[in-house]
A and B are shown apart, each in its own frame.
Chain A
Amino acid sequence: MTLPSPRPRVSRSTIVSAIVRKDFQAFYRDRFYLWVSVIGLVAYVAIFWLLPSTVDESITIGATGAGIEQLLEQAASAAGAESEGLNVVAFDSRENLITAVEEGDLDVALGLAFPDDFFAAVAAGQPTTVTVIATSGVPDELRTAMDSFVREVAFAIGGNPLPVDYQEEILGVDRLGDQVSLREKLRPMLAFLVLLIEMLSLAGIVAAEMQTRTVTAVITTPARVSDFLAAKIIFGTLLAFGQTVILLVAIRSLSNQPVLLLTTMLLGALMVTAFALIAGAFGRDFITVIFWSMLFMIPMLIPAFGLLFPGSASLWIRAIPSYGLVETITGTTAYGEGWAEALPNLGLVAAWTVVAYIVGLGILRRKVQTL
């Protein structure tokens, strides 16, 4: 009599990789998530390349009057206004100037109509009138500034110098003519959006496996709960990281510090996977998965939105898990920063990732065990 041959031992890695393969098959089978991922990726790349790559930081004003172009340049210099930001376009008649302002020709924001005898009148100290022509869309501060500018022109022509010793100091790196464009500012948001969309996909798959009891079936095999959870982490991270890399390549973001950027995105993928496990554990169906995912997605998008505004982030924004991630992407891609500047932020992301995993795995493990 021969004994039945013992079943070959299956290693943990084989079990985990089998579950990961199954998850990828489930992902590609679910057309909704697949299409959301593909359409999202294509749309983000298209949006990125459609956004302006430069910042128009100058003011263009139109002017009429005899010898006005030269006069304004002299006056601007006397008033301390930097020529880099002020463009003056001369018009041969008041009517042409009004038409240009009204129709926005040559990007003329507003017009200054000087009388032909302006120079002589001001030099002689005789009162004269300058008309500022603006549409109702011109911001108040620009009208105020032009009002001040005209008076300063008159003072300068009248030989009346500034009543102060004006000294100017630039603080920080002077980015005049080299401002960070909207395209650059949106780069971290797009990368992060890809991660978040994948969070939605993973949460949906986890929730579906809970509801259909697939997980119960899986753990009746030699697979343990820990194998199931490890597989979910690997699947979620690979899914999110893979698509982010595609995006970064498509928007040409890997030219500076590619290793740092890829490390950052890997950490980001790990972090969103942890939040996806939480959303998936709570989600009962498609709608609830979207709701729970949104609960995490909306706050985590705030730091990326914050980058669109000038100034440093508030303390509460710095406390959001995604802050370090967004800061590192911006620092690396827009400001050319390296590992030294990125490490504190990456440490913050890593700390949040650990916390999210402790919570996420704890909830999911309990959920699986109670099924």
Chain B
Amino acid sequence: MRKDLRMGPRTPLFLYALILPVVLTFVIVGVFGSLFAPSPRLGIVDEGNSTIVAAAGSLDGIEVTTLSSEDTLRRMVEDNDLDAGLVLPDGFDDDVRRGDRPTLEFFIGGESLASNRIILQVTTLDLVRGVTGEEAPVTVDVVTIGDVEAVPMATRMVPLLIMYAVAIAGAFVPAASIVEEKEKRIINGVLVTPTTVTDYLAGKAGLGIVLGMATGIITLALNNAFGGHPFALVLVLLVAAVMMAEIGLILGIFAKDSNMLFALMKSAGILLFYPVVFYIWPSLPQWIAKLAPTYWFLQPIFEVGVKDASLGDVWVELVIALVWIAVLVPAVRAMSRQLEQKVAVDA
């Protein structure tokens, strides 16, 4: 294991396992964080000293950009860098207060969505009303309904990111390492020393566990999903990494070469990865997700990391994950014996 950890960073796959969570987080958070919930973007050119600029800046959910010239504003709106924009001429506030009804030029981007246009129009007019100091004879009372807190799409993608992180680092790296050492017959050299197959596989599993936990922690940190119980989360990640390392050993011993390993990862990968779909679309029947072993560590990670649950809240899932780990042990032992026989035949 020390050799793998020392030599590992020189191999591309090791780097790939470490870089992938960062790249995926960037892509998924970028795409799902803003693509499916794009905030309306408003540009303002203030030629005087209007109070509207400060009021607009404090609006929730609207991106406000102040610009220095009307030409820049027009160009940005036309290029769809802004949804809409307005120019506040010098003395605009005073004119509004005096009741002179100054002209308010409101530029709308041709490619902006109708919903964004409405939101920006209505909000802007309300800001202008605010300058007059007039109070509408109505109180607006906002009531939030539903006992289930809505989880944003970017957060629902966290299980997918975690799954990638622990699967690549925890399972694929040790599996690829075993396959490579079988292909280059390094394993034959190792096993003529006092090292046993069990020692050899324990080293590979250790590598997977350390890497899987490291990439899992990096992914959770990048996604701000550490929750309020970091110790509990590390414990759950340990369970996840152990399970993935076991799967990595089985695949690594079973695969004859790199191509077969990739083919196995793709086919077995579906069985390991499919529970993440049930987080993205929570309305799907959840019992299907529970058939996969990975669900039993993904659910505690999601509960602890995203929903601030404690270890006490997820102990049932963790126990089931440990049962799965125990179930996989005989399979690892059987594969270990198979590897031992193969090495003996080769020798």
Q: Which residues of A contact B (CB under 8 A)?
A: 30-32, 35, 55, 57-59, 79-82, 84-86, 98, 101-102, 121-122, 125-137, 139-155, 158, 160, 162-177, 179-180, 285-288, 290-292, 294, 298, 305, 308-312
Contact of B123 among A82, A141, A165 (CB under 8 A): A141
**CB contact under 8 A between A179 and B137, given known A135-B144, A152-B122, A310-B38:** no
Interface string of B112-124 (1 = CB under 8 A from A): 1111111101110
Q: Is the CB of A85 within 8 A of B137?
A: no
Contacts of A155 in B (CB 8 A): 129, 134, 136
**CB contact under 8 A between A171 and B109, given known A32-B259, A82-B114:** yes
User: In chain A, what residue has the closest Cβ to B15?
Assistant: A291
**CB contact under 8 A between A129 and B139, given known A149-B122, A165-B103:** yes
**CB contact under 8 A between A127 and B138, given known A172-B78, A312-B81:** yes
Contact of B114 among A30, A84, A166, A168 (CB under 8 A): A84
**CB contact under 8 A between A80 and B149, given known A85-B118, A287-B11, A310-B80:** no
Contacts of B152 in A (CB 8 A): 137
**CB contact under 8 A between A133 and B138, given known A141-B123, A167-B103, A173-B110:** no
Cβ-based interface call for B37 (8 A): yes
**CB contact under 8 A between A85 and B115, given known A168-B108, A287-B13, A287-B176:** yes
A287 to B281 CA separation, bound complex (whole angstroms): 34
Secondary structure at the A interface, as helix, strand, loop or mixed, is mixed
A310 to B169 CA separation, bound complex (whole angstroms): 34
Cβ-based interface call for B34 (8 A): yes
Q: Is the CB of B61 within 8 A of A141?
A: yes
- Whole-angstrom distance between the Cβ of B65 and the nearest chain A Cβ: 11
Q: Is the CB of A32 within 8 A of B39?
A: no
Contacts of B41 in A (CB 8 A): 310
User: In chain A, what residue has the closest Cβ to B102?
Assistant: A164
A176 to B118 CA separation, bound complex (whole angstroms): 12
User: In chain A, what residue has the closest Cβ to B258?
Assistant: A286
User: In chain A, what residue has the closest Cβ to B79?
Assistant: A312
Cβ-based interface call for B132 (8 A): yes
Q: Is the CB of B137 within 8 A of A163?
A: no
- Whole-angstrom distance between the Cβ of A199 and the nearest chain B Cβ: 16
Q: Is the CB of A145 within 8 A of B137?
A: no
Q: Is the CB of B81 within 8 A of A141?
A: no
